[in-house]
Amino acid sequence: MSRVAYGDHVIVATGAGVPPKLPQGETDGPPGAAVLARAMALGLGAQVTIVSEEAHSKPVEACAALVGSFTARPIKVETIPPHSKYGPKAVEALLARHQPSAIVFVELDGPNPDGFFHGVRGDRRPAGTMAHLHLLAEAGHAAKRLTIGIGDGGNEVGFGAVRTALAAFHPNGFVVTAVETDVIVSAAISNWGAYAVCAGLAVGLGSPDLLHDETLEGELIRACVKAGARDGATASTEPLVDGVSESGHRGFVSLLQSIVASSSSELGPDSSSRQRSREVTQ
């Protein structure tokens, strides 16, 4: 809220999973990225672009299209090809084009200190299959942009900031990424971490509608699957995210809505004043 002004650009990077089990990525990531993009567009007036690798584009685009109908501006989606040789130039071009105030990562694999990408269970990603979007974190840090990493397994961008402590008790400590972000949000499921950030924005700005509802949650999961994404835990084409059914995710969103409503009520009738003040300054 303090780092993103009205009209600023924000980049949200997402995408995990490789062939053969997850050829178009997994269902954890695109919904969270889309919902967070929606909240920042509506609540902060940000211009948000979601970035993923080419193979994951269809699920990401499907989720962005669903939430885009709620925003004044469409949520843009851009992709870059896999392989390390494309990463530096693509990241440089993204930053030059958008000049983002913040860069957020939702379920995006980052390399370990040896430069290898892994799944949380320890499987090494084949060489040349990753888009190297993690370089956005390093470039963003160098440019003094806010960077936020949202993940669930330690192998995602952001956890490098606590790598030593995390690797000490992680069952597969070698998978923990070396890529750091300014802020880390750790959750049981990465989408849930993104939704929690939306809930925080909803309370902080006095605007409960910034958190999506359980109906949209179900639509996002099904759209993601229909576009080719699979469950990351089972590689199933059923509407699952990390092995949890659609009803479980709908329930989690409903719980967050209750928390937001309760928090807003405790803050009293002036809780929306921050949002009104922001609109006036715009």
Structure tokens at 47: 């211009």
> CB-based contacts of 202: which residues, under 8 Å, 6+ apart?
39, 43, 208, 209, 210, 211, 260, 264
Distance CA 105, CA 151 (A): 8
Phi, psi angle pair for 166, to nearest 5°: -70, -45
136-140: long-range contacts, CB 8 A cutoff, minimum separation 24: 136/11, 136/13, 136/51, 136/91, 136/94, 136/95, 136/103, 136/105, 137/103, 137/105, 137/110, 137/179, 137/180, 137/181, 138/179, 139/91, 139/92, 139/95, 140/95, 140/100, 140/103
69-73, 143-147, 168-172: least confidently modelled range = 69-73
Distance CA 256, CA 269 (A): 20
Q: For residue 64, how far is the Cα from the chain centroid?
A: 12
Return the pLDDT at 274: 46
Average pLDDT, the chain: 93
Distance CA 209, CA 158 (A): 28
Q: Taking the alpha carbons of 130, 14, 217, 252 in that order, is the dihedral positive or negative?
A: positive
Instruction: Give me the count of residues in the chain.
Output: 282
Q: Among 166, 164, 84, 177, which residue's Cα sits nearest to residue 129?
A: 84
Return the pLDDT at 266: 73
pLDDT tier, 270 (very low <50, low <70, confident <90, very high otherwise): low
**Strands in the chain per DSSP E:** 9-15, 47-53, 76-80, 102-108, 146-151, 183-186, 240-241, 244-245
Q: Which residues pair with 147 in a beta bridge?
A: 103
Q: Which residues pair with 158 in a beta bridge?
A: 180
Q: Taking the alpha carbons of 224, 98, 152, 203 in that order, is the dihedral positive or negative?
A: negative
pLDDT, tens digit (0-9, with 9 covering 90-100), for 232-251: 999 999 999 999 999 999 99
Structure tokens at 132: 């190297």
pLDDT, tens digit (0-9, with 9 covering 90-100), for 57-85: 999 999 999 998 888 778 999 999 988 88
Region 156-181: mean pLDDT is: 97
At the top level of CATH, which class does the domain 9-281 belong to?
alpha beta
Distance CA 190, CA 211 (A): 16
pLDDT, tens digit (0-9, with 9 covering 90-100), for 76-110: 999 999 888 888 999 999 999 999 999 999 999 99
Q: Per-residue pLDDT for 269 more than 60?
A: no
Query: For 126, which DSSP code?
Result: P
Return the pLDDT at 132: 93
Q: Hey, which of 79-88, 99-108, 122-131, 261-270 has the most confident mean pLDDT? A: 99-108
